[in-house]
Amino acid sequence: MNYDASVFKEKANRKARIICLIFSILLSANYGTDTGNGLYPTQNYIIFLILWWLPVIIGEILLRVKGCATDIYKHVLIVGYDIFYTFVFCTTASPIAFTYILPVMSLLVLYKNQKFMIGCGIANTLSGIFSAISAM
């Protein structure tokens, strides 16, 4: 049995796409409900939607243009997610906001790349530190 890296990347990207779409719907609905209940201002919800959906849309375009085996897709999702996560962490009053990291963790596991996982972990830790400092 031969290992084909492009087949692995394509499968990982397809799974990541599905996970992102599911979490996009769930997080948008959750934050929207919180906004409707007065927990966040409407402009925060609009920023939230832009920061979350823009990388998803860019990633979708990238997959269609470059093909599903492109290595760039995971970076678009992760960088976009880190920007989104930092925004949420800095603007939320929710005690469960830390759980928004779970989608990115499920994405990291798909790619089975230790260096990539460590880099993302460092970026997420910096997001947490930044939000803690900005809350002071």
Q: What is the pLDDT of residue 61?
A: 93
Tokens 């530190």 found at: 129
pLDDT at 127 over 60: yes
pLDDT at 98 over 80: no
Q: What predicted TM-score, i.e. pTM, was given to this entire model?
A: 0.77
* Share of residues in the chain with pLDDT > 90 (%): 12
Span 42-94, pLDDT tens digits:
998 999 899 889 988 999 999 999 998 888 998 888 888 888 888 887 787 77
Q: How far is CA 15 from CA 48, 53, 111, in A?
A: 23, 17, 10
